Chain A
């Protein structure tokens, strides 16, 4: 036992000595492992940071709403305002906000903007999102009922059309028709993600007006706001039942999606993405391992005389093997630890740049270090074995 310990300590010292004595070569070799581990750590940490941010923004906005999109049947292509009333009246539903997209461009005087979107919403939308109006007013039931030509515009559009000018009361043209601006709204700061899924617009007009412009009396997309405390799954099935009735039990006329289900899909996607990326990164580790094997084989050849001498002096094959195995193990571990260090630093910087939260991922570190240990042992095994099997007579002759 004591003898083994003495030997082990001696082997570690010798291994470190040899790594130190071939600084450049050792560094280049462990660089492969370092980059591999760095990639694994960075990818896992960054992706989990991003997905954490996505799901937290989802839950901040999405709880308590369901999104319904309607494809309709041959007989009935969408929802009429009366159908929407039916949904609104359901037990778990607080209100319904339709979305009617308007084509065409937006202009103010001679200033024409083509990349802007306009959509129709109802008064309830502004009740449900009462914080969004920063100036003037939102739409009212009077606007809905009378299909008035008024609009509420986004802060972005205000910045482009009315820099330094009060926009309220001004007239802009949407799809060639004049609308009077009655309010200005600003999306909350986390709007980047929500706008993708909620379909935000630069100009919001009464949905009844939008339907009139589109020459249609049906709505194909709307958001259902649930009563507080309502279970979204139960609500979804209640809505589905009502919708089935409206569409006369035809199949595939609509889909009801909760934010939770979208969030679940996103989570699955990011998990898949991170394991895919980690898989790609581990190829770098494999390449690094081959680098270690290459260096160890060279080392064994170079040190044939040393191996022969040590055997002549009484070293047994196991001692020779463990010395070389330790060398590749330590080399790989040094690379792995450096990789963890640089990987954490890099993912910290990336999280700052992407504006996501940096989550210290212990599992990723363990994975990186464990991986490099395994790589060091696996790829060091063959060279070490080769060294231990050298015939001392031949090895001495090589001197």
Chain B
């Protein structure tokens, strides 16, 4: 058996139960999932399938009720709030459906935000944020406010923000959900490129077409997970 320190990403028999009045909601049932560094994976499932719960646990926003979750050699399931915050800051790059930029900060300041919480000096923050914005093709939009950017550009800023801390995983939740088809395709193209640069991407979606961009697809239905090709869906 591999030592925990060497494991990049492994979930073993994860259960998540939400205690509710009357009956408990069993959101995840014995979910096991291993991911290698550099993979491009999509989690495909309809709404109510436990997709969001899985994302929250992968993203260290929540801890499982039982089971084992190892990320970058660290066991997540027993962590407290402070450790989870640190792990999110270092290892996870979130990309949300509606880019979730702070409206009163410029594109660059938005990208700098994770580095603020990592305690990086202002000068270094600025340099790294600028490099990331250049990478996503927004070199000429750095000092724009979010409302001066198009939906696709906003999502690019969000991707730059997700990558700026150099996390282990880019975790995208319906990243093209709020975009038109053409812009969505450009964002998917960007994910491909980032994956080609050896970044690990996990994409949560209900959209088969979007999921099909990933090199590996897992299905989640009713809290259970199954590996599979696209033809199953």
Q: CB within 8 Å of B: which residues of A?
A: 2-4, 6-7, 10, 17-18, 21, 305-306, 309-317, 319, 392-393, 396, 399
With contacts A314-B88, A392-B61 taken as known, whether A21 is within 8 angstroms of B113 at the C-beta atoms is no
Q: Smallest CB-CB separation from B173: which chain A residue?
A: A396
Q: Which of A21, A316, A393 contacts B104 (CB 8 A)?
A: A21
Q: Is B139 close to A, CB under 8 A?
A: no
Q: Is B20 close to A, CB under 8 A?
A: no
1/0 per residue, CB under 8 A from A, across B56-84: the answer is: 10010110000000000000000001100
User: Are B88 and A313 in contact (CB-based, < 8 A)?
Assistant: yes
In the bound complex, CA of A311 to CA of B86 (Å): 10
Q: Smallest CB-CB separation from B100: which chain A residue?
A: A309
1/0 per residue, CB under 8 A from A, across B109-136: the answer is: 0000110111111100000000000000
In the bound complex, CA of A21 to CA of B86 (Å): 30
Q: Is B102 close to A, CB under 8 A?
A: yes
User: Are B116 and A393 in contact (CB-based, < 8 A)?
Assistant: no
Q: Smallest CB-CB separation from A315: which chain B residue?
A: B117
Q: Is B89 close to A, CB under 8 A?
A: yes
Q: Is B192 close to A, CB under 8 A?
A: no
With contacts A6-B121, A393-B56 taken as known, whether A314 is within 8 angstroms of B89 at the C-beta atoms is yes
User: Are B100 and A7 in contact (CB-based, < 8 A)?
Assistant: no
Mind listing 26 A-B residue pairs with CB under 8 Å? A2-B121, A6-B119, A6-B121, A10-B116, A18-B104, A21-B104, A305-B100, A310-B113, A311-B61, A311-B85, A312-B59, A313-B94, A313-B117, A313-B161, A314-B117, A314-B165, A315-B85, A315-B117, A316-B81, A316-B85, A317-B82, A317-B85, A393-B62, A396-B96, A399-B96, A399-B98
User: Are B100 and A319 in contact (CB-based, < 8 A)?
Assistant: no
Q: Which of B62, B113, B114, B119 contacts A2 (CB 8 A)?
A: B119
**A397 to chain B: closest CB distance in Å?**
9
User: Are A314 and B104 in contact (CB-based, < 8 A)?
Assistant: no
User: Are B61 and A309 in contact (CB-based, < 8 A)?
Assistant: no
In the bound complex, CA of A147 to CA of B86 (Å): 102
Q: Smallest CB-CB separation from A309: which chain B residue?
A: B100
User: Are A396 and B119 in contact (CB-based, < 8 A)?
Assistant: no
Q: List, in ascending order, chain B residues with CB within 8 A of A310's CB.
A: 113, 117
Q: Is B90 close to A, CB under 8 A?
A: yes
Q: Smallest CB-CB separation from B53: which chain A residue?
A: A393
Highest count of chain A CB atoms <10 Å: which of B82, B85, B104: B85
**B161 to chain A: closest CB distance in Å?**
8
In the bound complex, CA of A359 to CA of B90 (Å): 58
Q: List, in ascending order, chain B residues with CB within 8 A of A305's CB.
A: 100
Q: List, in ascending order, chain B residues with CB within 8 A of A316's CB.
A: 81-82, 85-86, 117
In the bound complex, CA of A245 to CA of B119 (Å): 88
Q: List, in ascending order, chain A residues with CB within 8 A of B118's CB.
A: 314
**B65 to chain A: closest CB distance in Å?**
15
Q: List, in ascending order, chain A residues with CB within 8 A of B120's CB.
A: 6
Q: Which of A4, A17, A314, A393 contacts B86 (CB 8 A)?
A: A314
Q: List, in ascending order, chain A residues with CB within 8 A of B114's CB.
A: 313-314
In the bound complex, CA of A18 to CA of B122 (Å): 20
Highest count of chain B CB atoms <10 Å: which of A6, A18, A306, A319: A6
In the bound complex, CA of A6 to CA of B119 (Å): 6
User: Are A399 and B100 in contact (CB-based, < 8 A)?
Assistant: yes
**A188 to chain B: closest CB distance in Å?**
66
Q: List, in ascending order, chain B residues with CB within 8 A of A312's CB.
A: 59, 61, 88, 94
Highest count of chain A CB atoms <10 Å: which of B98, B100, B116, B121: B116
In the bound complex, CA of A305 to CA of B103 (Å): 11
In the bound complex, CA of A3 to CA of B165 (Å): 16
User: Are B100 and A17 in contact (CB-based, < 8 A)?
Assistant: no
Closest 10 pairs (CB-CB, A-B): A314-B89, A3-B119, A314-B117, A316-B85, A313-B114, A315-B117, A314-B88, A309-B100, A10-B116, A312-B94
**A44 to chain B: closest CB distance in Å?**
40
**B35 to chain A: closest CB distance in Å?**
20
In the bound complex, CA of A172 to CA of B52 (Å): 105
Q: List, in ascending order, chain A residues with CB within 8 A of B90's CB.
A: 314
Q: List, in ascending order, chain B residues with CB within 8 A of A311's CB.
A: 61, 85, 88
**A399 to chain B: closest CB distance in Å?**
6
Q: List, in ascending order, chain A residues with CB within 8 A of B94's CB.
A: 312-313
**A311 to chain B: closest CB distance in Å?**
7
Q: List, in ascending order, chain B residues with CB within 8 A of A319's CB.
A: 117
Q: Smallest CB-CB separation from A314: which chain B residue?
A: B89
User: Are B119 and A313 in contact (CB-based, < 8 A)?
Assistant: no
In the bound complex, CA of A393 to CA of B81 (Å): 13
